[in-house]
Homo-oligomer: A and B are copies of this chain.
Amino acid sequence: MEQKIIDLLKRSNLSITDSRKKILESFFQEDSALAHADIENHVGQDFDRVTIYRTLQTFVDKGIIHTIPTPDNAVLYALCKDSCSAGHHHDNHVHFICDNCNKTFCLEHVVVPAVHMPVGFAASQIDMVVSGICNYCNATT
């Protein structure tokens, strides 16, 4: 784990700091997307709120994580897959929000379908967020 995180930071040309390691750790430990508050809980009192904001922004810039738009307008972050690089995100997958456990997942293998735009409209990016019940909640209820 520790080594995986250090490698990722090096690959992204970022210096290895305690806060970056701890915050990345949160993402590797959780399979779902995290809100700023989730991360604050995970890292505890160790780091300042501002540091977390700046670290997350840095990770987004470097293509390590991406933000997820949600219908209730909370900002969520999730790890990018390898196809993402600095300044160039490729997260064209569908995001899923479970109404039961409230977790948000990246459906890496579900690609956002094409839509036919009206005349005059040119699409450059498409975000698709699906809500419902996730596989874990469906299995246990």
Binding site for B on A (CB under 8 A): 67, 69-75, 94, 96, 99, 107, 109-110, 112-136, 138-139
- Nearest B residue to A113 via CB reads B113
Copies held by the complex? 2
- Picked from B113, B127, B131, the residue with its CB within 8 Å of the CB of A125 is B131
Q: Is B107 touching A124 in the complex (CB atoms < 8 A)?
A: no
- Chain B residues contacting A121 (CB-CB under 8 Å) are 96, 107, 130, 132-135, 138
- Chain B residues contacting A71 (CB-CB under 8 Å) are 67, 69, 125, 127
- Nearest B residue to A67 via CB reads B71
- Chain B residues contacting A135 (CB-CB under 8 Å) are 118-121
